[in-house]
Structure 1
Amino acid sequence: MKFPSLFAAALVSGTALSSHALAQVQQPIVELDGNLAYGHGTGGVGIFLPFLLDGGDGLFFDAGGSFVEGSARQASFGIGYRHRIDNGWLLGAYGYYDVFNSDHGNSFNQLSFGAEALGPIHEARTNIYLPLTDDKYAASLSRAFVSGSDLRIQAGRELARTGADAEAGMRLPVFPDGMAAEMKIFGGAYWYDGDTGLDDTLGVKARTEVSFAGLPGVSGSTFTLGASVSHDNENDTEFGLTARLRVPLGGSSRSGNAAFDPMFQRVERSDFVRTHADGNGLIEAAEFVHGGRAVGKVVNVDDASGDAAAINAALAAAGQNALVLANGTIALDQAMQLGTGQHMLGGGGVIAVRGTNSRIETAFRNDGQATALHGTDPLANVVAMASGSEIAGVTITGGLAGIASNGASSISIRNVDISQTDGDGIRLDNVTGAAIDNAYIHDLFVCDNNTACEFAVGRPNLAPHAAISALGTSGLSVRNTVIGSVTYGIFAGSRIDQSDWPEVITHAATNIVIDNVTISKSRREGILLVAANDVEMNKVTIDNSEQGLDMDLVVLQGTSDVTITDMTLKGGVNGLMLVSAMSLPEEAATTNVKFKGLNIDGTRNAGIFFNPVSDIHFEDVAITNAGSYGAFIYGSNFQGPVSDITFENIRVENASTAGLYFSGPAENIRGDITVVGTPLNCLADQGTWSATSLTQTDGSVLTLNGGTLDASRMTATCR
């Protein structure tokens, strides 16, 4: 139970106690304190409920809580009895239940018991602390290490410690008798048990405090300032400062020095559960977080391991789920083959593992040299990945594709740098489940040959020399990735069988996520999706403004169920191309596409180009400095109209010709568009062959600069 709930329970309990018909019930005392001690700042709040009994003895209920830096927190509940004896002395005994939430996210409970002797000048007390909670894991202190050919995890642990303390002190006669103030000094010692492999902690402490009674307007209140010092064999010397305010609710008749009556003073004890955390917990077997399989044999590869054939033999001998630690520069004359479940980690790279029993996750770091894999054969891939494999923390140059996988599932590619390949940077064929994260793919072969390299719907399975080529791949995610100076940026398409008519999709490109990706200087499309569906793009930037030759920046060809947010497009022929082709399988249609937050700047033709597509929605779009039109709406009598397009809060600024251009049939184009700094709001193809028209049904209304574009007069208006 967290502190707020516990403290609320304390207040309810206190209210119930104070409602009893006790003639000697006293006003509850609220306590506020702030402390700076042991390297931590704390703030506390508590309530002390005293009840006087016949003969001058008293009972009390005490509840409080402390808020600690690092989000740790404490709640305490206690009851006690105080008995007055001759000569002004008071003897007391008490018990408390403490709950402590540590910085490591663990909760500990303890019981504590104490006794006190409080006199007019001197006082003394002692406490014992008895934890009720077993040892717990401390995930942040866990570590992974290699032992022989095995990877092991030693769990961090946190434990509560049994302890005791005692102190004695006295009031110093530094203030005049008539002044409502007092100063006390104390000295004491403490001990905490050192079982479970720890040394006992023995320490001494001293503290002093100065208290003042009767704050203006609050009778019976006290304000205390204190300082402390402690020294032990665990923490050496530590200092602390305290400020504390105690206020009786509704005031009190105990004014002046009577406000210091020991019957009502606070209980001095360590309300925090003393814990110890270290990395000396149980040692256990490890498993990969990716894939969830137990880590197999650990094998090292470097330039002394031999050629690619020798390395592959070693990887095969290591078996499934091996951890491959690669170090230094390694030349490969054929593909390095990662087997099923094998994880390759370059020097300086980290990989997530967890304990098979504790389930604690931690990171293992390869402390070897930075790893560079160089493919010497331009017709061979550098690394080939099997199902469940992972590669992380490597630089790859040369070869055909830097990383390739065919027919695999659940592969992971992280923290890789790929350049100077003759083919693709990463090539995925018919893969199910591929995660690419924090990749830098740059300076690949750039193809200017349209015949060899331009994508065509007549050969939909080919978009060569891409930074990432994913054909027939489902469950693809590309995150936190930078791509630059390539032919294509990202190509993701369904594998289409063209051996018969109609063509059919054999492996669908579906469930695709592109998040926080930047692409620049792509000779052809930055992102090309063909016959894909279920696509999400977020925080994608494509900037081809610094090159003379390029193509459209984003092309959705026969792609459906797409959500795009926060996209920026610069340069290119058209920023965004939405198109469907009759030669693709029937289900490959561009429809149900939603944009929110789209900025397009400096295209050579249109900001957005529509071929026959439907059900496309735009919100919060800015198109600036388009070379011709903000949006080109190009329907076809043969393929069909551009239909069901919604514009919400669209601004076209400084287009060279017109905000909108219509050619061919368009249906149900609705929304609002603002056009500024542009010669014409709209322009329509007047050729008889184009059959330009705008048909609005179901209440569809399109406004340009606040004026409705009348469908019946569209060709007359847009000129």
Structure 2
Amino acid sequence: MRITAILFALLAGTALSPTTAAAQDPAPVAEASGSLIAGGGTGTISLMVPWLQPGNQVVFTDARAHLVDGGAYGASLGLGARAAVTPDWTLGANVYLDYLDTARDNGFTQAGFGLEAFHGDLEVRANAYLPLGDRTRADHEFDRLFLDSGQLFFRQGQEQALRGADAEIGGRLPVFAADSPVTLKAFVGGFVHDGEGIDTDPGVSTRAELSFAALPGLAAGSALTVGLGATYSERDKGDLFASLRLRVPLGGQGGRNTETDPMLRRVERAPTIRTHVGTTGAREATVFADSGEMIGGVAELSAASGDAAALNALAAAQGRNGLLLASGTIDLDAPLVLGTEQRLLGANQRLAVRSARSGIVTSFGTAGPNAVLRGTNAAADVLVLGDGATVAQIGVVGGRNGIAANSLGGVLLSDVTVSGAAANGIALSGVDRAVLRNVTVVGAGANGLAMSGGTSLVAANLVLADTGSSGIRLDGVGTTTLETVTVRNTGGIGVAVQGGASFQAESLTVANSGADALVLDGIDRSRLTALSVSHAQGRGIAVNGGSDLELADVSVSDTGDDGIRLDGVNRLSAEAIRIARTSGTGLTLNGGSNVAIAGALVADTAAGGVVLNGVDGFAGRDLRIARSGAAGVTVNGGRSFSIGGLEIANTASDAVTLNGVDSATLSAGRLERTGGSGIVANGGASFSASDLAIASVGATGMTLNAVDRVALNAVRIAATGTEGLVVNDAGSLTAVDLGVARTGGDGVQINRAGQASFVSLLVSDVGGNGVTLNQGAMIAFDGVAIGNVGGNGLGVTNVAGLSLADFTVDGAGQAGFRASGASRDFDGDLTVRNSARACSSDGTASLTQTGGAVFTINGVVTDPATCP
């Protein structure tokens, strides 16, 4: 009614304005009206224009615009004619074209046809309405699925324009004088509507109108009409309505009343197109939305359906693509067997289906108590799947295997819970495509999920718990994809995978396994991301053979053996690895090649932190090891080993032990608080270290034995239990920017070096010699400062050639320089200060000065040959 009031006010304002148009007989009539019915309002403005008036006849057009509360709007355009066929009778006919845009945003068009007859105060009229064009529009709110004779059908929801007709008879009641400006009319009538898919709906109507003419301030012939009425039909039941209408001639009518004059009366007809909203579409067959297969028979399964034999007969009767709807607890003493492409749905599960003709997708399901299949025979499986079977929203309890399938093309399990199976919760053999979603298996006597053979397994949101053996056991499955899977409290291996082309797991959690947590054997491609392993009685992760293994965001803790053990794996890429509290080593790699690890933390291991045995090609970055029961890193054999950003602390033995590594490179690291040495390297073609700090170690800072080529750059060694740097039997040694301090033994000790070069060496606060050289072909120093040493500043034995440049000893507890053995060919500058003895020799050294060597001993230039 809000819209009606606005329209009425606008038209009234137009009518009250002065007019200068010449009088016509008759002239156009403007109208504003509104009605209220069942809480909804309709407002209309119209203009009725007479065009031809030959004698007692009129041809007119009638244009109307409608607004309806709720957002609907429409328009009508009509053409009509009236003629006084006798002095007492006036007959009329009209045709209208109507348009409506409904509150549901659907547009409809109809044609209307009307007949009229007026005899004095008597009025008789009839109208017919015929929709044009597309009379229906889809409305998915009213889409419906229904069962009929064991088949599932679909009807589309629609809004449709209805066919209809109405008629009424009535006229002026003799309540007021015939010439009174007040008129009371009453009418009775009937109507009928029908459409596709709905019953014909006839009804009756009655209305009364009170009109007031000679309205002050308005043009002659204007009339204000107030109406009340009622309708009744079988579908809509009873309705009351009220109306208000103002009609104003534009230009004057010579006093003719627009409500009583037969030539000027309004055309009475339905104000807008009548529509119906409901499930009225044609009946259609249905198909499964995911497969496009026609849905077979539909049957309900419950305890009332009988025993296993009766249930299997009922399932078989539904045929291929049959749909079985289960509810409540169903006891089974033998397996329930699903046929080919059959689907078993529990109560409250929705299934996506599509109408076969219109292609509309909707969902279907039943409500009721949750469906549980309870196996009462521990020697029989509970549910056996057919080829392409689907199971959803079902609980399975007891039996031998909870769910079993053999030699099938594929199966789908969704929202399934299996508990208390005597053997496996789910047992699949030779199933090519297995898909599991939202599946929980609890309390299986053997494995939670066991699958052998088959092309692929895809599982997401799985929980497998409290199993007698493994949570998941896969043998020879082609490709496996796990996402968001939890395995806990298993009597055996948490997840065991044997063979297969590829294995991928994301967000896999394995906890409290009775043996290893995760074992992969002989898999070509494996990827583990967001993996969490904890409290395994055996190893955390064990991978045997295979290639192309990727680890990312992996956490392993509290294991009874090694945290991660990889045997014979080629091409390993790992990042963001965390290993803690292992009874064995943190990470062990045996054999394999091309290993890359970036970002790893290994802590609190009973044995070594990282152990590599025979790995050909290891590249690491940002590796941290803390509190290991043996060496932090042990590398035995292998072609190459390189690591940057290595941090090791609190190891029971050496920080790094390298045995027989062809090429080893360490950079940008810190090694501290070790029970043994910082670094021990035995054998190998080359060793290099740069930007490395070693501190607070129990033995030597760095010991290099029989390494052909040694290169050190920006290395700091401090607080060692014995020597700082020991190099034995090196083919060549190059050290740049080397600092050694606070050692229990010598700062630097070189034994049997072929060639050695030191540039920028600082040694201080050492318990033994600052630098000790035992046997060497040619050793050169440039920019050396040795201070506060307990022994000799520089001790030389059997060195064939020695070159000193800017070499200073300040504060030696014994000799600043001591030579012994067959040492000869000294060249360069040596400065000794504040030492117990300037220089000394055991008498066997041949201190031959070459190249003008200058020894400055306590400020006095000294010939090295004069050293006592």
Query: Which TM-score bucket, shorter chain as reference?
Result: 0.5 to 0.7
Query: Where does residue 618 of structure 2 map in the other structure?
Result: 669
Q: Cα distance, 1:611 vs. partner?
A: 1.2
Matched-pair contact (CA < 8 Å) for 1:670–1:703: no
Superposed, which structure 2 residues align to 1:301-700 within 5 Å? 301-445=301-445, 465-486=446-467, 487-494=469-476, 509-544=477-512, 550-573=514-537, 576-580=540-544, 589=546, 591-633=547-589, 635=590, 641-648=591-598, 650-657=599-606, 660-662=609-611, 664-679=613-628, 682-683=631-632, 692-696=636-640
Deviations 1:451-491 (A, max 9, x none): xxxxxxxxxxxxxx211111102232111222211121122
Amino acid of the structure 1 residue aligned with 2:640: Q
Residues 133 and 434 of structure 1, relative CA distance in 2, 3 Å threshold: farther
Which has the larger strand fraction?
2
Whether the aligned pair in 1 keeps the contact of 2:640 and 2:664 (CA below 8 Å) is: no
- Structure 1 stretch 375-384 or stretch 279-288: which is displaced more? 279-288
Distance 2:389 2:572 in 1: 38
Structure with the greater alpha carbon radius of gyration: 2
Q: Is contact 2:346-2:370 (8 Å) kept? A: yes
Q: Aligned equivalents of 2:573 and 2:543: distance in 1? A: 15
Write the letter of the residue equivalent to 2:637. Answer: S
Distance in 2 separating the partners of 1:98 and 1:594? 64
Q: How many Å separate the matches in 2 of 1:521 and 1:534?
A: 26
Amino acid across the alignment from 2:525: D
**SS in structure 1 opposite 2:609?**
strand
For 2:285 and 2:317, the matched residues in 1 are separated by: 21
- Whether the 8 Å CA contact 1:143–1:363 is kept in 2: the answer is no
Per the TM alignment, residue 403 of structure 1 is displaced from its structure 2 partner at its CA by 0.7
User: What whole-Å deviation, never above 9, does each CA across 1:100-150 have from its counterpart, x for those lacking one?
Assistant: 999xxxx97899xxxxxxxxxxxxxxxxxx999885545565332322211
Structure 1 counterpart of 2:463, which letter?
Answer: V
1-side partners of 2:161 and 2:528: how far apart?
51
Q: Is the 8 A contact 1:409 1:432 kept in 2?
A: yes
Q: In structure 2, what is the Cα distance between the partners aligned to 1:384 and 1:401? A: 9
2:106/2:137 contact within 8 Å kept:
no
Specify the code of the residue in structure 1 equivalent to 2:322. A
Match of 2:300 in 1: 300
**Structure 1 residues 605 and 493, CA gap change in structure 2 (3 angstroms):** same
Deviation at residue 386 of structure 1 after TM alignment: 0.9
CA distance in 2, matches of 1:540, 1:142: 41
Residue by residue over 1:243-300, the C-alpha shift from the partner in whole angstroms, topping out at 9 and shown as x without a partner, is xxxxxxxxxxxxxxxxxxxxxxxxxxxxxxx999755444311122344321111223
5 Å-filtered alignment, 1:174-253, equals none
Distance 1:99 1:314, change over 3 A: closer
SS at match of 2:312: helix
Provide closer, same or farther for how the CA distance between residues 330 and 629 of structure 1 changes in structure 2, counting only shifts above 3 A: same
- CA distance in 2 between partners of 1:408 and 1:574 (Å): 35
CA shift in 2, pair 1:665/1:348, >3 Å: same
Q: Which moved more, 1:404-413 or 1:289-298?
A: 289-298
Name the amino acid aligned to 2:449. I
Equivalent-residue separation in structure 2 for 1:153 and 1:681 (angstroms): 72
Secondary structure, aligned partner of 1:312: helix
Distance 1:305 1:647 in 2: 60
1:419-477: CA deviation from partner (whole Å, max 9, x where unpaired): 111111111100111211111111121xxxxxxxxxxxxxxxxxxx2111111022321
Secondary structure of 2:559's aligned partner: coil
In structure 2, C-alpha distance between the alignment counterparts of 1:490 and 1:280, rounded to whole Å: 51
Task: Check whether the contact 2:540–2:557 (CA below 8 A) recurs between aligned residues.
Answer: no
Distance 1:685 1:609, change over 3 A: same
CA distance in 2, matches of 1:277, 1:424: 53
CA contact under 8 A between 1:578 and 1:613: conserved in structure 2? no
Q: Which secondary structure state, in structure 2, belongs to the residue aligned with residue 366 of structure 1?
A: coil
1:25-48 Cα offsets, whole Å, 9 max, x none, are xxxxxxxxxxxxxxxxxxxxxxxx
Deviation for aligned residue 1:676: 4.7
Give, in angstroms, the shift of residue 318 of structure 1.
2.8
Distance verdict in 2 for CA 1:679–1:151, change over 3 Å:
same
For 1:656 and 1:702, the matched residues in 2 are separated by 22
Q: Distance in 1 between matches of 2:630 and 2:605?
A: 11
Q: Would you say the 8 A contact 1:351–1:392 is kept in 2? A: no
CA distance in 1, matches of 2:493, 2:101: 60
Pairs aligned (count)? 462
Note closer, same or farther for the CA distance 1:519–1:579 as it changes in structure 2 (3 Å cut): closer
> Contact 1:377 / 1:399 at 8 angstroms: preserved in 2?
yes
Partners of 1:577 and 1:439 lie apart in 2 by 24
Q: Which has the higher helix share?
A: 1
Task: Name structure 1 gaps, 5 residues minimum.
Answer: 1-96, 112-129, 163-192, 200-232, 237-273, 446-464, 495-508, 582-588, 636-640, 687-691
Q: Which amino acid aligns with 1:667?
A: D
Post-superposition CA distance 1:591-636 (Å, at most 9, x none): 1122222222322333211111111211222223333432112x2x
- TM-score of the pair, normalised by structure 1: 0.55
The one-letter code matched in structure 1 to 2:605 is S
Q: Which range moves more in the overlay, 148-157 or 650-659?
A: 650-659
- Kept in 1: contact 2:152–2:298 (CA 8 A): yes
State whether residues 538 and 565 of structure 1, in contact with CA within 8 Å, keep that contact through their aligned partners in structure 2.
yes
Contact 2:552 2:574 in 1 (8 A): yes
CA 1:627–1:580: 2 relative to 1, 3 Å: closer
Contact 1:109 1:132 in 2 (8 A): no
Closer, same or farther in 2 for the Cα pair 1:100/1:425, shift >3 Å? farther
* Gaps in structure 2 of 5+ consecutive residues: 1-98, 110-130, 164-192, 202-235, 240-273, 649-654, 667-678, 682-701, 704-868
Residues 339 and 672 (structure 1 numbering): CA distance in 2 closer, same or farther, change over 3 Å? same
Alignment partners' CA distance in 1, 2:101 and 2:453:
55
Kindly indicate whether the alpha-carbon contact (under 8 Å) linking 2:302 and 2:328 is maintained by their aligned counterparts in 1. Answer: yes
Q: Is contact 2:540-2:559 (8 Å) kept?
A: no
**Could you tell me which residue of structure 2 aligns to residue 149 of structure 1?**
150
